[in-house]
């Protein structure tokens, strides 16, 4: 490539870097606020009783993967709107996509809410302690009622992020996070005339806050992102059904892939219970640290979906682009996430002992946690790469193959290797074996998704074939 060609390419990469990081920041804050709400529920219920804390923990373990599946389905809205916004689509077409996303969120949320309610009614048959069972049941029922509203909120959120207004969502999420504290306290501890509901109050409080955030985001959408001349119901009556089918085709594999990943960690935690509470606690230290650091590459992957989708829309409009900016942007995102992963890994490795001490005063837990954090540091690298590659592939709407790769990598290679190392050797490795399995599975996913990204980005329309 000549010097004259390098100059505009370097300028474009700098512009892409700024755009990706600008979008990543508010998405990251939104994700952290979401995690913070779960943390508030856990901490506040713990001050009521250990049984209330256990009930909320059980309920969270049930609804979290279900909610993440819902979010995975609706994240398909981001690349669809980003491409429509950068291409030839008119504003009414974008509004039709939003209406379709809201419809899909409402329908899928209602179905998942029904499943959540069914599990809630079954909990008293599975949990021996009556107080824990009843608290977990009604906590989950409150979450189930709010699940369709969550679907609407997620559709509005991904629409805002796709049109570069992610900071609007962040403001509302942070407001909801702050509101969650007094609402929870009033219901959990029984302020004024309200009864003391304990852990059940966490579920009702969370449902109220979700409804508030959905109303606030809908108001924000009508004010800043919807033309006054467009009536939502008029848009709704147009081509919504076809859009819903299209979004479902792209989004369902994303939701299933996310469910595969989340359920893998849940199953591993269940298997480790046989090794005793100290091992489980040490594993939880490493897992919690990885969950926190995971938010940064995850947020960048979501931003990458929007940015690559933007370029795909432009390529579809222009038909010919010798640089193929979508592909260039996708690989830039992979490189950024790799650098972030190396930084996270260095921080974890250098402070493993200190980090483990923050979680527990028990020397045995600290010792196991410190050892597992070494694996967690290595885990960062393939995890960040596969997140970026998957984020770019979502923009290309290549989600079914990603789902297959995820299943084979996580459950066949990752879990299979982990179980063998943890239990199948003559000298079993315990929790460390599962972490090595996770690293192997994620490394396989990273390699396969990079290869898939290379194939899809080269064959996608935008560069003419001769």
pLDDT tens digits, 35-84: 888 778 877 887 787 788 888 888 888 888 899 899 999 999 988 888 88
Helix (H, G, I), strand (E, B) or coil at 463: coil
pLDDT over threshold 90, residue 402: yes
Percent of the chain topping pLDDT 90: 45
Segment 416-443 shows an average pLDDT of 93
> Cβ(70)–Cβ(151) under 8 Å?
yes
> Cβ(134)–Cβ(124) under 8 Å?
yes
Sign of torsion over alpha carbons 408, 410, 413, 415? negative
* pLDDT, the chain, mean: 85
Measured from the Cβ of residue 397, the count of other Cβ atoms closer than 10 Å reads 20
Q: How confident is the model at residue 228, as a pLDDT?
A: 40
Q: How confident is the model at residue 318, as a pLDDT?
A: 53
Q: How large is the angle between the packed helices 325-350 and 431-459, nearest 10 degrees?
A: 160
Residue with tokens 């592909």: 327
> Cβ(247)–Cβ(397) under 8 Å?
no
Q: How far apart are CA 417 and CA 195, in angstroms?
A: 50
Measured from the Cβ of residue 224, the count of other Cβ atoms closer than 10 Å reads 11
One-character DSSP codes across 379-401? HHHHHHHHHHHHHHHHHTT--HH
One-character DSSP codes across 129-155? SHHHHHHHHHHHHHHHHHHHHHHHHHH
**Residue 425, both tokens:** 């050797």
Structure confidence at residue 224 as a pLDDT band (50, 70, 90): confident
Helix (H, G, I), strand (E, B) or coil at 109: helix
Structure confidence at residue 464 as a pLDDT band (50, 70, 90): very low
pLDDT digits (tens, 9 = 90+) for 129-181: 888 889 889 999 999 999 999 999 999 999 999 888 889 999 999 999 999 99
pLDDT digits (tens, 9 = 90+) for 252-264: 999 999 888 888 8
pTM here is: 0.85
Segment 370-374 shows an average pLDDT of 94
Segment 197-209 shows an average pLDDT of 91
What lies within 8 Å, CB to CB, of 105 at 6+ separation is 70, 74, 148, 150, 151, 152, 153, 154, 155
**Residue 177, both tokens:** 């996070």
Q: How confident is the model at residue 230, as a pLDDT?
A: 43
Structure confidence at residue 191 as a pLDDT band (50, 70, 90): confident
> Cβ(199)–Cβ(188) under 8 Å?
yes
For 145, counting Cβ atoms within 10 Å of its Cβ (0-12 exposed, 13-18 middle, 19+ buried), the class is middle
pLDDT over threshold 80, residue 378: yes
What is the separation of C-alpha 292 from the centre of its chain, rounded to a whole number of angstroms? Answer: 12
> Cβ(358)–Cβ(417) under 8 Å?
no
Q: How far apart are CA 124 and CA 347, in angstroms?
A: 43
Q: How confident is the model at residue 370, as a pLDDT?
A: 93
Structure confidence at residue 310 as a pLDDT band (50, 70, 90): confident
- Average the pLDDT over each of 108-117, 435-444, 456-465 and give the range with the smallest value: 456-465
């Amino acid at each position: 490539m000549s010097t004259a060609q390098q100059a505009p390419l370097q300028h474009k990469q700098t512009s892409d870097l700024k755009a990706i990081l600008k979008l990543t920041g508010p998405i990251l804050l939104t994700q952290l606020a979401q995690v913070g709400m779960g943390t508030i529920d856990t901490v506040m219920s713990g001050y009521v009783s250990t049984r209330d804390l256990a009930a909320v923990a059980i309920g969270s373990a049930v609804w979290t993967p279900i909610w993440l599946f819902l979010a995975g389905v609706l994240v398909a809205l981001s690349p669809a709107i980003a491409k429509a916004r950068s291409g030839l689509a008119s504003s009414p077409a974008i509004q039709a996509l939003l209406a379709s996303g809201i419809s899909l969120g409402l329908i899928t949320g209602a179905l998942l809410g029904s499943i959540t309610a069914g599990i809630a009614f079954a909990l008293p048959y599975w949990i021996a302690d009556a107080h824990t069972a009843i608290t977990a049941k009604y906590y989950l029922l409150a979450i189930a009622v709010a699940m369709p509203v969550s679907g609407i909120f997620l559709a509005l959120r991904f629409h805002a992020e796709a049109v570069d207004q992610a900071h609007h969502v962040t403001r509302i999420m942070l407001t909801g996070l702050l509101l969650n504290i007094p609402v929870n306290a009033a219901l959990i501890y029984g302020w004024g005339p309200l009864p003391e509901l304990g852990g059940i109050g966490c579920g009702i409080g969370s449902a109220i806050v979700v409804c508030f955030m959905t109303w606030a985001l809908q108001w924000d959408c009508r004010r800043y992102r919807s033309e006054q001349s467009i009536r939502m119901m008029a848009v709704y009556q147009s081509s919504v059904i076809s859009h819903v089918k299209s979004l479902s085709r792209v989004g369902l594999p994303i939701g299933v892939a996310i469910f595969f990943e989340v359920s893998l960690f849940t199953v591993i935690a269940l298997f480790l219970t046989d090794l005793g509470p100290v091992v489980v606690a040490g594993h939880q230290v490493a897992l919690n640290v990885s969950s926190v650091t995971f938010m940064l590459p995850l947020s960048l992957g979501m931003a990458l979906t929007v940015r690559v989708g933007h370029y795909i829309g432009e390529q579809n409009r222009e038909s010919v682009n010798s640089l193929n900016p979508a592909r260039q942007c996708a690989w830039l995102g992979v490189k950024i996430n790799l650098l972030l992963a190396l930084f996270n890994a260095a921080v974890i490795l250098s402070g493993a002992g200190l980090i483990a001490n923050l979680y527990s005063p028990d020397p045995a837990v600290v010792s196991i946690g410190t050892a597992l954090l070494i694996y967690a540091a290595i885990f960062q690298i393939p995890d960040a790469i596969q997140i970026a590659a998957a984020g770019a592939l979502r923009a290309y709407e290549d989600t079914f193959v990603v789902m297959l790769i995820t299943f084979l990598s996580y459950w066949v290679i990752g879990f299979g290797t982990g179980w063998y190392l943890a239990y199948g050797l003559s000298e079993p490795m315990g929790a460390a074996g599962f972490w090595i399995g996770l690293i192997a599975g994620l490394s396989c996913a990273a390699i396969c998704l990079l290869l898939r990204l290379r194939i899809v980005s080269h064959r996608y329309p935008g560069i003419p074939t001769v």
